[in-house]
Structure 1
Amino acid sequence: MVTQILRVAFAFVGIIVGAGFASGQEVMQYFVAFGVDGIWGVIMSAVIMSVMALIILQLGSYFNAGEHGGVFRRVSHPVFSKILDIGVVVTLFSTGFVMFAGAGSNLNQQWGLPLWVGSVLMVLLVIAAGMLDVDKVTTVIGAITPFIIIFLTLASIYTLVKGTLSPIEQLDAAAGAVSTTLPHWSVAAVNYVGFNMMVAVSMAVVIGGSMFNPRVAGRGGLVGGLILGFLIIISALTLFVSVEEVGQDDMPMLTIINQLHPVLGQIMALVIYGMIFNTALGMFYALGRRITAKNPGRFRPVYVVTVLVGFVLSFVGFRNLVGYVYPILGYIGLLLIAVMIVAWVRGRVRIYKETERRMRIVDLLEIGREGSLTVADQAKLRKEIEESNLDEEQIKAATKKN
């Protein structure tokens, strides 16, 4: 069970830790911009994130979900369900073209290349990869996530212990010079969770749906949320104590890594670029599949067109896009948070009973595989399956995977 929980936890972290987070720009605008008060926002955000990860993954498991739309339709009013579905589609597209802007900023800051070079190269990579087996591509690129965690932790430890901390008042004033479109640290904290849930919900639901035991899925989400909360906290503290030096950079965390060691800076730039590729590919691929769900044969031309449209929109600039697009999506995400919390609170007793029921089903199936299932046990197994919210075929398929 521990192995399954950790597998779910790291998968969830891998969804969230994308280019915006890895670069430090998200944390800078959402938290550091509010100075000392922003640290309270970080803690608040980390707590809400952990709870929401538990809820979404557990609901995905309970409904044995294969995609987010089915869960939305089951837990909310049709109007809200439609709004959320549209919101997720918009999020996929918006996050995708923000990544193109980030690709340009990344290579520009590290090697002085024109902004369009990094963006054009990313567009070509994303289009080419979209024509191939995307599962293999994203699996390979997904391996970059542990490096991001290591680099962020390393940079934070170095920055926090090097002993050149300016007075808090001075840092607070410097943080106030960081531009943000958000009105208050508390709004920023909830908005940040809302945005990340909009980005993560589609894949998180699928991850939860692949787990037969809702308890394992929920605990995996909780652990993943706590790991993510830890990363957000150390990133925010690191950027806050360095805000005088990196507050106006597009890639502030990259600047800190370069200060740690130039070679590490070169590697970090490549790692961030890989995360950008991973995020952009995942967003546009999911968007293309969603748009062409009723006509899969049109996927490739639709995919290419959406990527090119995203490329054009990316010229607004990475920092501006993070500052304006992300908060808008975050406000839509507040509806997602509310819907999921209400659904989980109302259904928590049913989820608990279903969890116990599935554990009994697994135990009985295991006995059956050993050939020692009595007539009474067979009757009990049939009764448990009949009372489950899943049908017999779903249970058979799920227990084979687990």
Structure 2
Amino acid sequence: MKRNIHVLQIAFTYIGTIVGAGFATGQEILQFFTQYGRWATLTIMLSTLVFIWLGTRMMLMAHDISAQSYEDLNKHLFGSNAGKWISWFTLIVLIGVNSVMLAGSGSVFVEQLHLHYQTGLLITLIGTYLLLNKGIKAILHMNTIVVPLMITISILLVHSTLSMPNPHSFITNTTDHSALRTWISPILYTSFNLAMAQVVLVPLGSQTYSRNTIRWGGVLGGIGVGFMLMAAHFVMSAQMPGIQQFEIPMGSIAYRLGALVEIIYILLIFMEIFSTFVADIYGLSLQIRQHVQVSPKLVTLFIMLTCFLISQFGFSSLLSVLYPIFGVLSLIWVSKLIMAGRGKPIRSSRPHSSFRYPNSKSGDTRHG
């Protein structure tokens, strides 16, 4: 039973890491999948297989090399010097992304809850600091709440769509986009999201003792991501092309199901922003702590303060330059992940983590 719980915790954390605020609003799915009509069903299946394969592979590789942070994995993939610079560039992008997410939490409080912008920022920052005092266990426990709620809402939206006049639109809609663009889109989507998710999945894999647990958690997590993608695609396809005019397409669909569902969905979007922000800050702090010998709490406070200051002024213009570069880097990164071997541990001992637990099956092996 304990092993099964840990498998679910890994699966839920994997889902929660990939299913960020952009996913929850529906914009990501609309842009990368639904706009391509009936072909999206096949491209979602392709993405699901890649998430199962490479997400699991990433966590197992982090486990095998005993990676302290995603920088250790990048050094394993690209070599010491290139891996270090790639990790620092990733850190800059992630700080920018998390600054925008933090600003998004303030926007949710202003636009949906009619509260002050700074209130949303402060609640997010204070909650993050308190949770991170418990380490990765807090991230695991948080996702065991957020992800089942997301899945429940997805099932509710699918059930509602089944009673609409055209529920089969997801296999009948056409597209004007080329076949090349249609099939490149899921590759870009999975590559970018896996490269972003390394900040969480690397320490998660490294701090889990059992390889079988990682493997099953990765498989269930990838399947869960695929289900969420397919559910949102199914729901939005039934309302194409009109749904494309909305900034938050899934929110507009939830609105039609009544005030209660709308409120739950608004809270869900905030919880998605919050859970992703917490997980990313944790992963970034691990990398910085490898280079700066100071208190973990001070590192966490420094990162959050940086994100807070940037969220006051915006980071959109810089991200518009960094994102395309990071997109290309993500494709190269995934290619290296596919080709890399399991490797050897890069340090002789692991940092203390209460999440690790002993093996109970002969198939669970440790290396080094």
TM-score, length basis structure 2: 0.79
- The residue type paired with residue 151 of structure 1 is I
* Cα separation, 2, equivalents of 1:226 and 1:331: 26
Is residue 2:76 matched to residue 1:74?
yes
- Per-residue CA deviations over 1:220-270 (Å, capped at 9, x if unaligned) read 212211121121122122222223343222221111112122211111111
* Cα separation, 2, equivalents of 1:228 and 1:199: 15
Corresponding residue of 1:241: 238
* Cα separation, 1, equivalents of 2:88 and 2:355: 33
- Asked whether the equivalents of residues 64 and 209 of structure 1 are also in contact (C-alpha less than 8 Å), the reply is yes
* Cα separation, 2, equivalents of 1:287 and 1:400: 21
- Asked whether the equivalents of residues 59 and 214 of structure 1 are also in contact (C-alpha less than 8 Å), the reply is no
- Per-residue CA deviations over 1:83-115 (Å, capped at 9, x if unaligned) read 43124313421321231353355456646x59x
**Residue of 59, 62, 65 corresponding to 2:61:** 59
Please report how far the alpha carbon of residue 397 of structure 1 lies from its aligned counterpart in structure 2 after TM superposition: 8.8
Please report how far the alpha carbon of residue 47 of structure 1 lies from its aligned counterpart in structure 2 after TM superposition: 1.5
Please report how far the alpha carbon of residue 288 of structure 1 lies from its aligned counterpart in structure 2 after TM superposition: 5.3
Is residue 2:197 matched to residue 1:200?
yes
* Cα separation, 2, equivalents of 1:211 and 1:159: 39
* Cα separation, 2, equivalents of 1:399 and 1:148: 25
Corresponding residue of 2:182: 185
Identity %: 21
* Cα separation, 2, equivalents of 1:188 and 1:276: 24
SS at match of 2:256: helix
Residues 307, 262 of structure 1: alpha-carbon distance in 2 compared, 3 angstrom cutoff: same
Please report how far the alpha carbon of residue 133 of structure 1 lies from its aligned counterpart in structure 2 after TM superposition: 4.8
- Asked whether the equivalents of residues 127 and 307 of structure 1 are also in contact (C-alpha less than 8 Å), the reply is no
Is residue 2:27 matched to residue 1:25?
yes
- The residue type paired with residue 216 of structure 2 is R
Farther off after superposition, 48-57 or 7-16: 7-16
Corresponding residue of 2:119: 121
Corresponding residue of 2:255: 258
Residues 126, 88 of structure 1: alpha-carbon distance in 2 compared, 3 angstrom cutoff: same
Aligned length: 347
SS at match of 2:130: coil
Please report how far the alpha carbon of residue 56 of structure 1 lies from its aligned counterpart in structure 2 after TM superposition: 0.7
Corresponding residue of 2:299: 299
SS at match of 2:68: coil
* Cα separation, 2, equivalents of 1:310 and 1:90: 12
Corresponding residue of 2:327: 330
Corresponding residue of 2:365: none
Work out which structure has the larger RCO, using CA pairs closer than 8 Å and 6 or more positions apart in sequence. 2
Structure number with the higher helix fraction is 1
- The residue type paired with residue 156 of structure 1 is V
- Per-residue CA deviations over 1:300-324 (Å, capped at 9, x if unaligned) read 663354123431454759xx97x98
- Per-residue CA deviations over 1:134-160 (Å, capped at 9, x if unaligned) read 245756643222111211221123214
Corresponding residue of 1:149: 151
**Residue of 271, 276, 279 corresponding to 1:282:** 279
Is residue 2:276 matched to residue 1:269?
no
- The residue type paired with residue 271 of structure 1 is L
- Asked whether the equivalents of residues 87 and 332 of structure 1 are also in contact (C-alpha less than 8 Å), the reply is no
- Per-residue CA deviations over 1:115-144 (Å, capped at 9, x if unaligned) read xx45x3332223333553524575664322
Please report how far the alpha carbon of residue 161 of structure 1 lies from its aligned counterpart in structure 2 after TM superposition: 3.9
* Cα separation, 1, equivalents of 2:39 and 2:139: 37
* Cα separation, 1, equivalents of 2:352 and 2:98: 37
Corresponding residue of 2:216: 219
- Asked whether the equivalents of residues 63 and 206 of structure 2 are also in contact (C-alpha less than 8 Å), the reply is yes
SS at match of 2:209: coil
Corresponding residue of 1:228: 225
SS at match of 1:99: helix
Corresponding residue of 1:372: none
- The residue type paired with residue 41 of structure 1 is T
- Asked whether the equivalents of residues 257 and 265 of structure 1 are also in contact (C-alpha less than 8 Å), the reply is yes
Is residue 2:46 matched to residue 1:44?
yes
- Per-residue CA deviations over 1:28-48 (Å, capped at 9, x if unaligned) read 121123333333322221111
Corresponding residue of 1:341: 338
* Cα separation, 1, equivalents of 2:355 and 2:16: 25
- The residue type paired with residue 401 of structure 1 is Y
- Asked whether the equivalents of residues 70 and 203 of structure 2 are also in contact (C-alpha less than 8 Å), the reply is yes
**Residue of 132, 135, 141 corresponding to 1:134:** 132
* Cα separation, 1, equivalents of 2:87 and 2:188: 18
- The residue type paired with residue 8 of structure 1 is I
Please report how far the alpha carbon of residue 283 of structure 1 lies from its aligned counterpart in structure 2 after TM superposition: 2.8
* Cα separation, 1, equivalents of 2:351 and 2:81: 31
RMSD value over aligned CA atoms?
3.7
Please report how far the alpha carbon of residue 201 of structure 1 lies from its aligned counterpart in structure 2 after TM superposition: 1.0
